[in-house]
Structure 1
Amino acid sequence: MDNIYFIGFMGTGKTTISKLIADHLNMKWTDLDDMIQQKEKKTVVEIFRENGEEYFRNLEKEVLKDVAGKGGYVVSTGGGIVIVDENVKIMKESGLIITLVASPDVIYVRLKDDQSRPLLQVPNPLDEIKRLMYERAPFYIKGDIIIDTSFDEPEIIVGEILKEIEKRKNGKGTC
């Protein structure tokens, strides 16, 4: 089986949901941010602070290419991976893209105390969430499946995703 990529804004549940999907489908799971941190031996916050966002995005593309070449993975991506067109192309060519979405207010509540989110270390994080979500919306809608995670429990969301994946396997959906 090809890879399954989870994209979406930070705080939409990509890590939680992708791990559960990997378990259900008996696939390997990985998180691109974890791979980057292992490669650089620094946190994402340190990479952003010391080297900038462009450097981070280049690392992200490198690890994505590595995973795309392997297959059989469920991949949790960073929220900004979609801003690089080549990344979306790599994911489309090597698997299924599942976009997780949630309302800005829900994301704010989920992330308000999380200091590991470099793009939210600003005076008004809710406004920044709204701005970034608006900016990235044209990229996030490129997912093959789009699921709102605002209010349902992870098990319900996983069930919805598994149904959508099954539809695609049986030729009832498009990839």
Structure 2
Amino acid sequence: MSNQSIVLIGMMGAGKSTVGRALARHLSWEFSDTDHVIENQTGVSIPVIFEIEGEAGFRRRETQCLIDFSNKSAVVLATGGGIVLAEENRRLLKQIGPVVYLKASVQELFQRTKLDKNRPLLQTPNPRQRIEELLAQRKPLYESCADLVVETGRQPVHLIVQKICKALGLESGHPANRKVQTSE
């Protein structure tokens, strides 16, 4: 797998950054997060980008970020929750490497994000309902992109990392090229 990376997709609060950092450490790979890359490139926070450019402007920046990562290897890339909305992004995700969908329940997502003011799409009177709406829209897209689905739930991060490595064949050095469903 020396010529590929691993991409983590899923809803905000699913654990992409936390799991991604741990997975990268475990593999001795680089970790990157598309949201952080965009913030570093622009010098402003995601909410400010949404305010100035709107969601469409932010989504264009995500596409460019994926293009930039398409030639890199040995990177664990955590992505923004809405990155799967654009068809071009879904194609680019698959070019980067195996795509892992980190899945969590609406309740878990709400608990993990309810106090976070850096999530523009949740700045509504009813953020839990907004999470339900976003998940209903995005879940089929996550599933269509995923080579592997892992439920994050209340599992310790190291167990999630172990499941990803085992399913992708990283312990033996030979990645699996099939869809795998992992739960618990």
How does the TM-score come out when normalised to structure 2? 0.90
Aligned residues: 175
Give the helix-richer structure, 1 or 2. Answer: 1
In the other structure, the counterpart of 2:131 is 129
Give distance in 2, aligned partners of 1:155 and 1:45: 31
Give distance in 2, aligned partners of 1:73 and 1:11: 21
In the other structure, the counterpart of 1:174 is 178
- How far off its partner does 1:30 sit? 0.6
Alignment counterpart, residue 162 of structure 2, candidates 153, 159, 163: 159
CA deviation string 1:91-141 (max 9, x = no partner): 112211000010001111111110000000001011000000000011110
In structure 1, list runs of 5 or more residues that go unmatched. Answer: none
Contact conserved, 2:30 with 2:76, CA < 8 A, in 1? yes
In the other structure, the counterpart of 1:36 is 38
- How far off its partner does 1:71 sit? 2.0
Secondary structure of 2:8 counterpart = strand
State the identity as a percent.
Answer: 34
Give distance in 2, aligned partners of 1:114 and 1:122: 12
Alignment counterpart, residue 83 of structure 1, candidates 82, 85, 90: 85
Secondary structure of 1:69 counterpart = coil
In structure 2, list runs of 5 or more residues that go unmatched. Answer: 180-184
4+ residue runs over 2 A deviation: 167-173
Give distance in 2, aligned partners of 1:46 and 1:69: 29
Give distance in 2, aligned partners of 1:173 and 1:67: 20
Secondary structure of 2:178 counterpart = coil
How does the TM-score come out when normalised to structure 1? 0.95
- Within 5 Å, which residues of 2 pair with 1:11-160? 11-141=13-143, 142-160=145-163
- How far off its partner does 1:169 sit? 5.3
